[in-house]
Amino acid sequence: MEQLDLTTREGRFKHFGSVDPIEGKKPKEKECMADLQSSKKDFLFEVDSVGINNLSYPVVIGDYQSVGTFELATSLRRDEKGINMSRILESLETENEGGVSLDFTTLGNVLETLRTRMHQEEAEVTGAGKWYFPKPSPGTRLSGMAHADVEYALKIDGNGVQQKKLGMTAMVTTLCPCSKEISEYSAHNQRGYVKVLLDIDPDAELPEDHKEQLYQLLEINASSQLYPILKRTDEKMVTERAYENPRFVEDLIRLIAYDLVELDWVKGFELECRNEESIHQHDAFSRMSYQK
């Protein structure tokens, strides 16, 4: 039995079962290693998308750093076995300046680098994260940090941008019109989630304040809005505003859809409203899609 020195880390590791590495027969230098991914023959099909997802990576959204989640991929030709996946992260790193800026220009740069380094025709990315921004209360104008979830999706090929999508999920207040109508007092209300995925015209000029525009039209059509800081005077305002503007999930989705159709940089959209019902254990939802 080997006498182990438990005062050293090496000794403790062996004591707990670690073994020495073997000499091995396979090459250790990169030039001598098999490169399976790059092997060429007829692999039966081309592949639409191959890459990585569920990647957590720092992002900058607006004025703040945030935690991003990414999916990045390229197409793959029929005569190639695989892609060199390490180049995906290398491409993302080229735009890392205290996080990757979540906007179409920066993501476009990442995709151009990726497409070139990977020698593939198409490249695509979806980057999502929480966008933080200051939001003042409706009466006292006291500002606190609010947030909405945003998603930028881009797909390019040798001819330029193929697909450009902008997603957002915002939280709102909805007050039930039926409950208001039938009850002697009060009306049940709840926190609602409005989720939109916009198909953006690649040729149109995307306004600088597109996030703000989108957030505003998602929440302004609801019964009332959510605020970080509310004093009593503010609380009275939002309570009464909700009572004055009752909305079913059906009302909300139609009112938002009207505003979205009016945006000239939007080609189409998928929209969902979901209420976490305060009088049920289940939720209520409405969903629609629209192409101009």
Ligand X SMILES: Nc1nc2c(ncn2[C@@H]2O[C@H](COP(=O)(O)OP(=O)(O)OP(=O)(O)O)[C@@H](O)[C@H]2O)c(=O)[nH]1
Considering the complex, what minimum distance in angstroms separates the CB of residue 84 from ligand X? 3
Q: For residues 141 and 151, give the distance between their C-alpha atoms in angstroms, rounded to a whole number.
A: 29
Residue number, 86 or 183, with CB nearest to ligand X: 86
Q: Are 86 and 141 in contact (CB under 8 A)?
A: no
Considering the complex, what minimum distance in angstroms separates the CB of residue 90 from ligand X? 7
The SS3 call for residue 34 is coil
Residue number, 84 or 239, with CB nearest to ligand X: 84
Considering the complex, what minimum distance in angstroms separates the CB of residue 23 from ligand X? 22
Residue number, 118 or 175, with CB nearest to ligand X: 118
Residue number, 39 or 86, with CB nearest to ligand X: 86
Residue number, 51 or 246, with CB nearest to ligand X: 51
User: Phi first, then psi: what are they for 116, rounded to 5°?
Assistant: -70, -50
Considering the complex, what minimum distance in angstroms separates the CB of residue 123 from ligand X? 15
Considering the complex, what minimum distance in angstroms separates the CB of residue 163 from ligand X? 23
- Taking CA atoms, 246 is separated from 9, 177, 221, in Å, by 67, 5, 10
Considering the complex, what minimum distance in angstroms separates the CB of residue 114 from ligand X? 12
Residue number, 110 or 176, with CB nearest to ligand X: 110
CB-based burial label for 76 (10 Å; 0-12, 13-18, 19+): buried
Q: Are 70 and 88 in contact (CB under 8 A)?
A: no
The DSSP H or E segment spanning 144 is strand 143-157
The SS3 call for residue 14 is helix
Residue number, 85 or 206, with CB nearest to ligand X: 85
- Taking CA atoms, 22 is separated from 10, 28, 162, 197, 257, in Å, by 16, 13, 50, 53, 65
Q: Are 277 and 190 in contact (CB under 8 A)?
A: yes
Considering the complex, what minimum distance in angstroms separates the CB of residue 86 from ligand X? 3
Q: Are 147 and 123 in contact (CB under 8 A)?
A: no
Note the residues at the interface with ligand X (CB under 6 A): 30, 35, 37, 82-87
Give the number of other CB atoms < 10 A from CB of residue 287: 12
